[in-house]
Amino acid sequence: MSDFLRTAGIFLHNIGIRDVIDVLIVAFLLYQLFKLIRGTQAVQLLVGLAVLLTIGLLAQVFQLRLVQFIFVNAGQAILIAVIVLFQPELRRALDQVGRLGTVRFVLGRHPPEPTVHMVQEVIRAAGTLREQRNGALIVFERETGLENVALSGVRVDGEVTAEILTTVFFEGSPLHDGAVIIRDHRLVAAGCVLPLAEALPGTGRMGTRHRAALGLTLQSDAVILIVSEETGLVSLANAGKLYRGLDDAKLQEMLTNLMLRPIARRAGAAIRPLVRSGAAIRALGRRSP
């Protein structure tokens, strides 16, 4: 016991501030990784990779030459397979790292009023579509750019109104099978094609629209409203999760909060340096005679 305490004391004595920062950075990155893949198929893939890594370590410990030979020669192939299998998660992670945040706030910030009005128009359209049993996919672009998705449809660039949305998703419309993209309170494109998600555990049976909505939310931070053509239920997809059967009140609350959150985050990021500067100026004023 005394040897253990002595070793622990030497270890703690040799830890410096750089070591603490190093550990905190690695812990933060691991936390973000687990947060990113939570609820997706990447969890099962990660478990499979952990099993393979365990087998490789055991082969090295027990000197299993054939298994070691396979792992050494298949190492590059496994690395390429990991990149291919985790492509959606890697793309999403790089997208989150490269978001502009404060720059987008400086280039253009939208007040809450247009957002609330847009949400009301979308909810009014969803109510009409629900009554008519017409399916719909309405995508709200947030911080992740969706220009590649918009290019798969027909460019509209119009005002977001309930009448336009119900017309687009009317059963006889040539664009009713695709999704519409809303960016900065404008209807950018219609008839867009979304990536389909594979079956996820705990989501139950899903139609094509719901799979498409989840597929895009797994690759971006978009919020997607879905009107089911079969049941008439209105659902919301965000961050790989599906919220089914929402009424108008709950739908308005969730949509408003989700659409205003990036604005508040960008505003806070831009205001914090100003607050710190103001505090520094006040401190200098108190020091000056």
Which tens digit of pLDDT belongs to each residue from 83-96? 777 666 666 666 65
At residue 208, the 3 state secondary structure works out as helix
* Structural domain includes residue 107: no
* Structural domain includes residue 142: yes
Work out the angle between the directed axes of helices 17-37 and 87-97 (0-180°, nearest 10): 130
Predicted pLDDT of residue 125: 94
Residues 138 and 30 in one domain: no
Model pLDDT for residues 231-282, shown as the tens digit of each residue: 889 999 998 889 998 999 999 999 999 888 654 444 444 444 444 444 443 4
- For the whole model, what pTM was predicted? 0.59
Of 78, 102, 126, the residue that ends a domain is: 102
Predicted pLDDT of residue 74: 77
* Structural domain includes residue 14: yes
Of 102, 127, 162, the residue that ends a domain is: 102
Residues 248 and 149 in one domain: yes
* Structural domain includes residue 288: no
- Nearest CA-CA partner of 188 in 143, 118, 224, 140: 140
Residues 98 and 179 in one domain: no
| Higher pLDDT pick, 167 / 273 | 167
* Structural domain includes residue 68: yes
Residues 86 and 184 in one domain: no
Cβ-contact 241, 229 below 8 angstroms: no
* Structural domain includes residue 261: yes
CA 103 to chain centre: 19
Of 59, 74, 102, the residue that ends a domain is: 102
CATH number reported for the structural domain that contains residue 188 in this entry: 3.40.1700.10
> Which whole-number Å values give the CA distances from 218 to 81, 109, 140, 177, 269, in the listed order?
20, 26, 14, 21, 25
* Structural domain includes residue 42: yes
- Nearest CA-CA partner of 177 in 198, 207, 197: 207
> Which whole-number Å values give the CA distances from 27 to 15, 23, 46, 286, in the listed order?
17, 6, 17, 40
Determine the structural domain holding residue 78 and report its residue range: 2-102
Residues 254 and 143 in one domain: yes
pLDDT band at 197 (very low <50, low <70, confident <90, very high): confident
**Which range (17-21, 108-112, 198-202, 250-254) has the least confidence?**
108-112
Residues 85 and 191 in one domain: no
Residues 85 and 121 in one domain: no
| Higher pLDDT pick, 274 / 17 | 17
Residues 232 and 90 in one domain: no
Number of domains in the chain: 2
